Amino acid sequence: METQGGIVHLVGAGPGDPDLLTVKARDLLSQGDVVVYDRLVSDGVLDLIPPGTARIFVGKATGNHHLPQDDINGLLVTLARRGHSVVRLKGGDPFTFGRGGEEALYLARHGVRFTVVPGVTAASAVGAELGIPMTHRGLAQGLCLVTGHAREDGALDLDWRRLADPGTTLAIYMGLSRLGALTAELMAAGLSADTPAAAVASGTTADQRQCVGTLAELPDLVARLEFEPPVLVVIGRVVALSGLLNWRGLVYEGDEDLVAAKRQEHA
């Protein structure tokens, strides 16, 4: 039976840059009674919440859950049953590695009204930032989004042979801690060690950092540069286009020739 009064809006906060929020997401932030938000929601997006609106932080990081998922689910139901308009603000897109589907199912099973507002997901945002088209005629006919984080820290159960298709771009979310194992599995499944690969930390924010290398060298490069989460990894032939389509003039760390060229260009 549906609960009357309250409602939960599962809203994508996008990759970090508040200018990448949808108009609908901005409108809901200005109208909601309570905002329940995750760790990956940027300060720039939180600044759009009107003064006086209640905020509840429920952020999760690997091995450190501020509030377990079951408790988050229960909180959303409780707030809605009290008649609140709840904005459940999630980094990126709520239905792309955001556990939005789990929360929506819980709300549906408890008779709570909800809506879903999509957000720009990290793969799209990072591709645009770095000049990496996720698909490109003659280079990549498809895009595959996967998570590098296994449930309950177990083994990754992925179809490595399918993921090693050279005609598909691979975007790996939450794969920093297992990057060495991920690249090794892909190479063992037949993907060339020379396949272009990029890693981007804190994409679209003021703290963004990026590097480009090959599949084989990327784990050592990222470790040497001491990248910290959130990190998105893009693997595939389309990554090679980043040098030509670098419309922002970004400096790619770890590539000494490219760094020197950019420094000379801006001298």
The one catalytic residue in 17, 38, 90, 93 is 38
The pTM of this model reads 0.90
**Residue 235: strand pairing partners:** 170, 197
Architecture of the 7-117 domain: 3-Layer(aba) Sandwich (3.40)
From residue 253, alpha-carbon distances to 171, 192, 223, 225 in Å are 20, 23, 12, 8
Burial code (b: 16+ CB inside 10 Å, e: under 16) for 239-260 equals: bebbeeebeeebbbbbbeebee
Q: Which amino acid is at 164?
A: A
From residue 255, alpha-carbon distances to 103, 213, 233, 236 in Å are 42, 8, 17, 18
User: What's the rounded Cα separation, in Å, for the pair 17 and 44?
Assistant: 7
At 37, list the tokens. Answer: 């938000």
Catalytic, 257? Answer no
User: What's the rounded Cα separation, in Å, for the pair 206 and 33?
Assistant: 29
Please enumerate in sequence order all residues whose Cβ is within 8 A of that of 98, keeping only pairs 6 or more positions apart, or say none.
12, 38, 90, 91, 92
The domain 122-265 is classified under which CATH number: 3.30.950.10, 1.10.230.10, 3.40.50.720, 3.40.190.10? 3.30.950.10
Helix (H, G, I), strand (E, B) or coil at 110: coil
Tens-digit pLDDT string for the chain (267 aa):
455 679 999 999 999 999 999 999 999 999 999 999 999 999 999 999 999 999 999 986 655 557 899 999 999 999 999 999 999 999 999 999 999 999 999 999 999 999 999 999 999 999 999 999 999 999 999 999 999 976 666 678 899 999 999 999 999 999 999 999 999 999 999 999 999 999 999 999 999 999 999 999 999 999 999 999 999 999 999 999 998 999 999 989 976 554 444 445 444
**DSSP secondary structure letters along 64-90:** EESS-HHHHHHHHHHHHHTT-EEEEEE
The one catalytic residue in 60, 165, 220, 255 is 60
User: What's the rounded Cα separation, in Å, for the pair 114 and 118?
Assistant: 13
User: How many C-beta atoms lie closer than 10 Å to residue 152's C-beta?
Assistant: 4
At 240, list the tokens. Answer: 């090679």
Contact predicate 13/25, CB 8 Å: yes
Q: Domain segments of the chain: what residues?
A: 7-117, 122-265
Name the DSSP letter for residue 217. T
The count of residues in the chain is 267
Contact predicate 84/75, CB 8 Å: no
Judging by DSSP bridges, how do beta strands 54-57 and 34-37 pair with one another? parallel
Catalytic, 70? Answer no
